[in-house]
Amino acid sequence: MFNSSTIQHLGCLQKFCASMDTKSNPKFVFNILLLCLFLKCHISLAADTISADQSLSGDQTIVSAGGVFELGFFKPGNSSKYYIGIWYSKKLVSMRTIVWVANRKTPVSDTFSSVLRISDGNLVLFSESETLVWSTNLVSATTSGSAQAVLLDSGNLVLRADGSNANTSEPLWQSFDHPAHTWLPGGRLGFNTVTNRTQIMTSWKSSEDPAPGLFSLEIDPNGSNAYLILWNRSRQYWTSGPWDESSRTFSFVPEMRLNYIYNYTYVTNKNESYFTYSLYNPETISRFLMHSSGQIQQLTWLENSGQWNLFWNQPRKQCEVYDLCGAFGSCNEVSAVACNCLTGFEPKSQNEWDLQAYSSGCSRITNLQYCGTAVSTSAKYRAPDGFQEIHNMSLPQNKQSVVVGNISECGPICLNNCSCTAYAYESSTRCSILTGDLLDLQQLATGDRSGTTLYIRLGSALPLLESGNANKRSLVIALVSGTAGLLTITFGYFLWKKTRGKERERRRKNGETKTLEKERKHRKRYDEILSNVADGGGMNDTELPLFSLQSVLAATNNFSEANKVGEGGFGPVYKGILPGNQEVAIKRLSKKSGQGHQEFMNELKLIAKLQHTNLVRLLGCCIEEEELILIYEFMPNRSLDKFLFDPSEKFELDWGKRFRIIEGIAQGILYIHKYSRLKIIHRDLKASNVLLDGAMNPKISDFGMAKIFEINQTEANTNRVVGTYGYMSPEYARYGHFSEKLDVFSFGVLLLEIVSGKKNAAFHRFEHSLTLAGWAWELWREGRGMEVIDASVRETCQPDEALKCIQVGFLCVQEDPADRPTMSSVILMLANEATSLPPSKEPAFSTHRNSVAVSSSPQTTPIISNNAVTISLPEGR
Ligand SMILES: *[C@@H]1O[C@H](CO)[C@@H](O)[C@H](O)[C@H]1NC(C)=O
Ligand SMILES: *[C@@H]1O[C@H](CO)[C@@H](O)[C@H](O)[C@H]1NC(C)=O
Ligand SMILES: *[C@@H]1O[C@H](CO)[C@@H](O)[C@H](O)[C@H]1NC(C)=O
Ligand SMILES: *[C@@H]1O[C@H](CO)[C@@H](O)[C@H](O)[C@H]1NC(C)=O
Ligand SMILES: *[C@@H]1O[C@H](CO)[C@@H](O)[C@H](O)[C@H]1NC(C)=O
Ligand SMILES: *[C@@H]1O[C@H](CO)[C@@H](O)[C@H](O)[C@H]1NC(C)=O
Ligand SMILES: *[C@@H]1O[C@H](CO)[C@@H](O)[C@H](O)[C@H]1NC(C)=O
Ligand SMILES: *[C@@H]1O[C@H](CO)[C@@H](O)[C@H](O)[C@H]1NC(C)=O
Ligand SMILES: *[C@@H]1O[C@H](CO)[C@@H](O)[C@H](O)[C@H]1NC(C)=O
Ligand SMILES: *[C@@H]1O[C@H](CO)[C@@H](O)[C@H](O)[C@H]1NC(C)=O
């Protein structure tokens, strides 16, 4: 299996090379080095073992018997330091991927004079200065001098007493018991109550520093059968929830369920509790990572694209990682860079920040004038500290609430207290006072209204403006306008309360309690209906305004034909005008059809909870008598298809608008997939379901087909294939199997439609290819990508941007859902100018072979439809 005499030779030669290095004539050294290299090559294929009296240094490696893993010195990224590590052999994973590091905290700087060897029954690493920098640390009285280290194909490095039976004896030591940041299949995470041994995964500090970072994953020591992610081994910010043996998942990690890939097992008994996993298909290459971003990630290697594919991660949102951005840093969920320093602050270590290791946080550009630093002689001539207003922030928990007579006192209170670093308004008589370093701040996305305005205390010289005077003025303005705004709101609130009280009184006087009763009745029915909708999941927290039928009739002129603007999936849509001249779109469930009730409820349930600039907003509903009516914000520019496919209107959409529309749609989909309180698959994305507001901003509509993925699933099957031909992904059309990658597929089709101005559904009528993607792919392969772009924008577009969109489109419409990117990657690809995109495979359905597969599938009725109307097909059984 291995050739121990060769490695011994090599050990000697190696030492020889190292000693010759500086002294001898260069040519001789060169020849010897060549010989070393040759031998090394030979060795690294043959040896998986370091035996007693052998050593490893320089660029020697040992390789596991099946050639899966390799062990040796490595240098992470641009670092100049060396570590002993285990990585996948290059034949399997072309991207160097370290899975284990021995000397995480104690790198060496010269590999040729450092040695890894067996010493007194331990595997030890000596540095160039011959100091012991790492050891397996066994108290090895019995096995002294006779042990060997073997690298297994599982990636486990085991230390055994020499001559012990590898099949039966327990190893003296194994790397699986001491995981670094990676947990490989077959490894265990847990603790043993007999030996008190715990396995903890700790993130690297950064991509170039394997030293233990701040984030660790460990089993709950309290025995709740849950895993925790801790910050600095102390603060818990995520839990897997307890293990549920019946569903074989952790309650908060439903991703683990579906699992035709991973076989997770949890073992707990008197002596030990641990969690382990294996792969159903042993050829899959997969690893589990405690990433330096504070998230755990399950990744699989995609050979074709040469990339690690993220299967799932937790916590799902980057900003849920505690204190990711360090002191005075602010986390942003949607921007490409997760962390930014607050205005007036700069990264403490730009190098670390460049490596996306943010935990060192930010420091002040200008010191505070009256606190902390000694007052210099010139200080009295300087302006006092001031405040910088930062909008839409979520605040940390460690703030103090102070009662004040009026809120204009908040600023002065903060200024007069040296430990105060920021404040915010809480109510008309309360300020939040924040002291010390500000941790865990988050900049909320536009559209998220839950944030507050934070006033950060800064030294007088604000970095934003050059002149000191302007600074002072702007500070004063900021302070005054902030306060004034609040006063207006407060005043408005009182006024509103007062008038509301009067209104009630008037109503009572006029005997209108009847109306109220009626309203209550409708509200009750509404609640009933909603509670009857299956898998509701916390509708209670949504207070959707109820409109009376009377007001809807008035708004639409008794549903007059003149007000009708379209026919939706389940009934007509009217334009309406509410009192106050607010324009609305009113969707009425057709009574005749008898269908669509479910879709109506689905839409009501879902869209009421969704709030995002790129989703159409539901303003209210009306449930009265037999009527089911939804009231939306009105979209003056109707839907995208009205422009895109109309030869006389498509000129309205120049390239800039098209690109903005593409980005907006992507953001909307990302929101429903990832950032709303529910995970939702839209299932019917298409040009006619993208509405355009007055400024041509896209808003996704029609959630009638959408599916809530309760957090307990990432994929599902349906018996009813619904959607629109041409936008459906193959796995969905064939097997009713769907995931968020279905929406990604539809998005890809939509993207190609927007760029080309051609309609996918009507495609085969006048082209050779079966689909738009197939047609575009052919042109692309012939190097004629520009011809894919709509002639009406071809001359004026940004060619790079347009071509990139086409490429992203191709990535989204690939046959295998696993090959398609997630929406977050799509957004990154679209946003970054410089990123090179992974290569994509031929689009699904682009050839006859593919399409035959659709119609000959035993499980589905062939789906042939030329129009863009949503169809709904029962799945053949
Ligand atoms: C290493 O440094 C080079 C040049 O400074 C830079 O271009 C490259 O991105 C760096 N690589 C990493 C992994 O940081
Ligand atoms: C271990 O088991 C394998 C097969 O299971 C066998 O081929 C091998 O000889 C065994 N090794 C020892 C040392 O018993
Ligand atoms: C394990 O830890 C417990 C409590 O911390 C202690 O009482 C026990 O002696 C330890 N056992 C070993 C083998 O170290
Ligand atoms: C574990 O136990 C300690 C002390 O009993 C308690 O403070 C802590 O909250 C517990 N942690 C969990 C996750 O239950
Ligand atoms: C982490 O905790 C240790 C004490 O356990 C403390 O000394 C250190 O400052 C903490 N690190 C950070 C970044 O807060
Ligand atoms: C899943 O893992 C468990 C424990 O490792 C094993 O007993 C079981 O056979 C595995 N199941 C499959 C289908 O491989
Ligand atoms: C627990 O450990 C004891 C002593 O090491 C052993 O006898 C017993 O079989 C173990 N029990 C289980 C369930 O593994
Ligand atoms: C708030 O207090 C300041 C001084 O403390 C006073 O000048 C101002 O008029 C007060 N505003 C209101 C609305 O009471
Ligand atoms: C400063 O504010 C903090 C928090 O509100 C408070 O605990 C402390 O006593 C204050 N110090 C002074 C000098 O007012
Ligand atoms: C803060 O959020 C509100 C509500 O979404 C938005 O109108 C406003 O423009 C945001 N302000 C900033 C500075 O982003």
The per-residue DSSP string of 372-407 comes to SSPPPGGGGGSPPPEEEEEEEEEPPS-EEEEE-SSG
Is 637 within 8 Å of 585 (Cβ atoms)?
Answer: no
For a substitution probing ligand 1, which of 74, 75, 78, 350 has the most ligand atoms within 8 Å of its CB? Answer: 78
Sheet holding 98-101, edge to edge: 61-63, 69-74, 83-88, 98-101
Contacts of residue 475, defined as CB under 8 A and 6 or more positions apart, other chains included, come to 383, 386, 387, 460, 462
Exposed/middle/buried for residue 809 (C-beta within 10 Å: 0-12, 13-18, 19+):
buried
Whether residue 447 has its Cβ less than 6 Å from ligand 10 = yes
Show the CA angle centred on residue 53, arms to residues 48 and 55, nearest 5°: 55
How close is the Cα of 556 to the center of ligand 7, in Å?
76
Which has the minimum average pLDDT: 351-355, 387-391, 671-675, 685-689? 671-675
- Superfamily of domain 1-177 in CATH is Bulb-type lectin domain (2.90.10.10)
Whether residue 468 has its Cβ less than 6 Å from ligand 1 = no
CATH 1.10.510.10 fits 640-864, yes or no: yes
Mean pLDDT of 33-39: 43
Crossing angle of the two packed helices 597-607 and 513-532, in degrees rounded to 10: 100
- Name the residue among 88, 48, 56 with its Cα closest to residue 72: 56
How close is the Cα of 271 to the center of ligand 1, in Å?
48
Both structure tokens of 625: 């008598």
**Percent of residues, the chain, with pLDDT higher than 90:** 28
pLDDT at residue 41, as a whole number: 37
| Pairing mode, strands 399-403 and 420-427 | unpaired
> 17 or 819: which carries more pLDDT confidence?
819
First to last CA, the chain: 53
Fold classification of 179-316 (topology level): Agglutinin, subunit A (2.90.10)
CA–CA gap between residue 634 and residue 576 (Å, rounded): 8
Mean pLDDT of 483-497: 39
For a substitution probing ligand 10, which of 343, 392, 489 has the most ligand atoms within 8 Å of its CB? Answer: 392
Whether residue 167 has its Cβ less than 6 Å from ligand 2 = yes
DSSP designation for 672: I
Both structure tokens of 341: 């320093």
Tally of helices (H runs) and strands (E runs) in the chain: 17, 49
Task: Give the nearest ligand 8 atom to 487 CA.
Answer: 13
- b/e map 428-462, b = 16+ CB within 10 Å: eeebbbbbebbbbbbbbbeebeebbebbbbbbbbb
Measured in whole angstroms, how far is the alpha carbon of residue 764 from the centre of its chain?
Answer: 37
Q: Comparing 179-316 with 529-633, is the CATH topology the same? A: no
* Residue with CA nearest ligand 3 atom 10: 196
Nearest ligand to the C-alpha of residue 261? 6
Place of tokens 């007509």: 572
Give how far Cα 171 sits from Cα of 147, 230, 855, Å: 10, 30, 56
pLDDT at residue 672, as a whole number: 86
pLDDT at residue 333, as a whole number: 79
Residue 25 has pLDDT above 60, yes or no: no
pLDDT at residue 699, as a whole number: 92
Whether residue 490 has its Cβ less than 6 Å from ligand 8 = no
| Pairing mode, strands 329-332 and 441-443 | parallel
For residue 301, give the amino acid letter.
Answer: W
Nearest ligand to the C-alpha of residue 613? 10
Task: Give the nearest ligand 8 atom to 412 CA.
Answer: 5
Give how far Cα 498 sits from Cα of 127, 493, 495, 509, 630, Å: 79, 9, 5, 17, 31
* Residue with CA nearest ligand 1 atom 4: 78
| Pairing mode, strands 49-50 and 147-151 | antiparallel
Is 640 within 8 Å of 616 (Cβ atoms)?
Answer: no
854-859 contacts: CB < 8 A, separation 24 or more? Answer: 854/730, 854/733, 854/734, 857/734, 857/735, 859/734, 859/735, 859/736
Both structure tokens of 153: 């194909």
| Residue 573, beta-bridge partner list | 566, 587
DSSP designation for 674: I
pLDDT at residue 241, as a whole number: 85
Both structure tokens of 257: 């369920």
How close is the Cα of 269 to the center of ligand 7, in Å?
9
- b/e map 374-391, b = 16+ CB within 10 Å: eeeeeeeebeebbbbbbe
- Which DSSP helix (H) or strand (E) runs through 473? helix 468-509
Task: Give the nearest ligand 1 atom to 355 CA.
Answer: 14
DSSP designation for 828: H
pLDDT at residue 84, as a whole number: 96
Is 749 within 8 Å of 776 (Cβ atoms)?
Answer: no
pLDDT at residue 727, as a whole number: 80
- Which DSSP helix (H) or strand (E) runs through 805? helix 799-812
- Name the residue among 494, 540, 684, 485 with its Cα closest to residue 603: 684
- pTM attached to this predicted model: 0.57
Mean pLDDT of 174-195: 92
Exposed/middle/buried for residue 676 (C-beta within 10 Å: 0-12, 13-18, 19+):
middle
Confidence tier at 143 by pLDDT (50, 70, 90) = low
Whether residue 234 has its Cβ less than 6 Å from ligand 4 = no
**Percent of residues, the chain, with pLDDT higher than 70:** 71
Whether residue 166 has its Cβ less than 6 Å from ligand 2 = yes
Both structure tokens of 802: 């347009």
Give how far Cα 680 sits from Cα of 629, 669, 739, 812, 824, Å: 22, 9, 9, 18, 15
For residue 665, give the amino acid letter.
Answer: I
* Residue with CA nearest ligand 10 atom 1: 392
Confidence tier at 346 by pLDDT (50, 70, 90) = very high
Is 49 within 8 Å of 149 (Cβ atoms)?
Answer: yes
Contacts of residue 608, defined as CB under 8 A and 6 or more positions apart, other chains included, come to 539, 542, 544, 618
Is 302 within 8 Å of 292 (Cβ atoms)?
Answer: no
Sheet holding 627-633, edge to edge: 564-568, 571-578, 582-588, 627-633, 618-624
| Pairing mode, strands 182-183 and 157-161 | unpaired
> 847 or 439: which carries more pLDDT confidence?
439
For a substitution probing ligand 6, which of 265, 274, 277, 279 has the most ligand atoms within 8 Å of its CB? Answer: 265
Torsions phi, psi of 246, nearest 5? -70, -40
- Residue 684 is a catalytic residue: yes
Ligand 9 pocket, residues with Cβ under 6 angstroms: 400, 417, 419-420, 433, 435
Task: Give the nearest ligand 9 atom to 416 CA.
Answer: 14
Whether residue 483 has its Cβ less than 6 Å from ligand 8 = no
CA–CA gap between residue 315 and residue 238 (Å, rounded): 7
Which has the minimum average pLDDT: 162-176, 675-689, 835-849? 835-849
Nearest ligand to the C-alpha of residue 416? 9
Confidence tier at 6 by pLDDT (50, 70, 90) = very low
> 708 or 831: which carries more pLDDT confidence?
831
pLDDT at residue 459, as a whole number: 79
Is 479 within 8 Å of 411 (Cβ atoms)?
Answer: yes
Task: Give the nearest ligand 10 atom to 391 CA.
Answer: 13
| 3-class secondary structure, 808 | helix
For a substitution probing ligand 2, which of 158, 167, 169 has the most ligand atoms within 8 Å of its CB? Answer: 167
Measured in whole angstroms, how far is the alpha carbon of residue 644 from the centre of its chain?
Answer: 31
Given 323, 684, 702, 790, the catalytic residue: 684
pLDDT at residue 209, as a whole number: 94
Ligand 3 pocket, residues with Cβ under 6 angstroms: 195-196
Taking only the tens place, the pLDDT of each residue in 551-583 is 888 888 888 888 888 776 567 889 988 776 778
CA–CA gap between residue 210 and residue 291 (Å, rounded): 11
- The domain spans of the chain are 1-177, 179-316, 328-364, 529-633, 640-864
Task: Give the nearest ligand 4 atom to 224 CA.
Answer: 14
Whether residue 836 has its Cβ less than 6 Å from ligand 1 = no
* Residue with CA nearest ligand 2 atom 5: 167
Nearest ligand to the C-alpha of residue 232? 5
Both structure tokens of 158: 């085991």
Give how far Cα 554 sits from Cα of 395, 430, 550, 581, 632, Å: 44, 44, 6, 12, 16
Taking only the tens place, the pLDDT of each residue in 606-662 is 777 777 788 888 888 887 777 788 888 888 888 898 899 888 888 889 999 999 999
Contacts of residue 787, defined as CB under 8 A and 6 or more positions apart, other chains included, come to 779
Query: Which CATH architecture does the domain made up of 529-633 adopt?
Result: 2-Layer Sandwich (3.30)
How close is the Cα of 222 to the center of ligand 5, in Å?
22
* Residue with CA nearest ligand 6 atom 10: 263
CA–CA gap between residue 645 and residue 643 (Å, rounded): 6
pLDDT at residue 532, as a whole number: 47
How close is the Cα of 167 to the center of ligand 2, in Å?
6
Taking only the tens place, the pLDDT of each residue in 414-455 is 888 888 899 999 888 889 999 888 998 998 877 677 888 999
- b/e map 2-24, b = 16+ CB within 10 Å: bebeebeebbeebbebbeeeeee
